[in-house]
Amino acid sequence: MERAIDPTQTSWVKVAPDSDFPIQNLPFGIFRHDGAAPRVGIAIGEFVLDLHALNLHGFLSSFDIPFSVTENHYMNSLISLGKQKTSSLRLHIADLLSKDNTTLQGIPDVYGKFLLPMLQVDMLLPVQVGDYTDFYSSEVHATNVGKMFRPDNPLLPNWKHIPVGYHGRSSSIIVSGEHFHRPKGQIMPAGSEAPIFSASQQMDFELEMAFITFDGPALGQPIEIEATDAYIFGMVLFNDWSARDIQKWEYVPLGPFLGKNFASSVSPWVVTMDALEPFRVPGPVQDPPVLEYLRFKGDKHLDIDLEVYITPKDGAPTLVSHSNFKHMYWNMNQQLAHQTVNGCNIKSGDMYGSGTISAPSEDGYGSMLELTWRGEKPLTLADGSTRKFLEDYDEVTIKGYCRKGDLRIGFGAVSSTVLPAK
């Protein structure tokens, strides 16, 4: 792994200095090209390395990976190979792509046969999400929302003792580039005595990240917090779209439902935890102390810069939020330990949303709800228009990257557009 993230390593594939995908990254994804069946690829610079083509031509023979794993609609079967094998595979690819390795670069038609321009492929949903949990782990976000509705008691009594989460809808998770229609549902207008059925008037984004798991122990066997790293494959950018007016009316007493389950967008490239190791940092002090099963050792937070842009129809993008994943109160290891402490089992391809990631400063809030403070402080976009919440045809783009010296590891982007209600 150390060799694969060596900041001095370079590739024979041309990689721009500001690329999200240097040889130290090598994220996995699912792509389709020129009518062929979907297959597993790895990003390097502006190219996609076709793992199925490598497998067919014997370049992955030492791993004994069935062709049905590398030519597949999803990466679940690849992830099911486990952490040791996927980490070794990534290291092998790093060796093949390294500057001094002539195995692939000596092939005359390597471009076109094994390496395809990203602009010529379609990126698909990377995993078939069997189960999806969304957490609520930013103290800033939870406090902001609490102040709006419970000014005298912003954080509920359990919040600093437990990584709060709910089981979300996996069937409506979509990949970047897929769009969705403004949802409809019940809304209670201000001053009314009865709800109405209407399209949401308070469409919002939520800046999040998500992690994807390997197969876990059998049902009934918790994952101890010291072991959680072995069960996290990688991370994606995540936009947990929210219809705030629908959510406000429905969330008591059981929490989010129609205000959340109409769409959630993810980035197509899964950045492995191996690639993110250099960017571990300490997290916030957790006070009061957490229970024993949530106590961890070492640095479990990650320094990931995050940006959110809103682009109106026929307009230019406006940066509306600049946050960082390191601000989260609860880390992924605690979330996974809590998810499984009751014996809940996990599977390859399961997805876990971080919850909205809000920075301490107002320009780093992770939702329109906070940025405009429930619409009381509208945002002004680059074209002069204002927003309390999202309008039809607004495109929201989230970007994320880590940087340490000259080493930059990026996630690409997740973008989707709000279409009018049907």
| Residues catalogued as catalytic | 141
Whether the Cβ atoms of residue 419 and residue 393 lie closer than 8 Å to each other: yes
At 112, phi and psi to the nearest 5?
A: 110, -35
Tokens standing for residue 409: 């590891």
How deeply is 315 buried, as exposed, middle or buried, from its count of CB atoms within 10 A (0-12, 13-18, 19+)?
middle
Nearest residue to 328 via CA among 310, 353, 349, 346: 353
CB atoms within 10 A of CB 209: 26
d(CA 414, CA 267): 5
Instruction: With H, G, I as helix, E, B as strand and everything else as coil, classify residue 102.
Output: helix
Tokens of 329: 């109160």
Strands annotated E in 127-191: 132-135, 165-167, 173-175, 180-181, 184-187
CA distances for 47 relative to 7, 14, 32, 37, 97, angstroms: 20, 9, 13, 18, 12
Cβ–Cβ < 8 Å for 304, 213: no
Size of the chain, expressed as the number of residues it contains? 422
Alpha-carbon span 52 to 59, nearest angstrom: 10
Q: Does an H or E element contain 97, and which?
A: helix 83-97
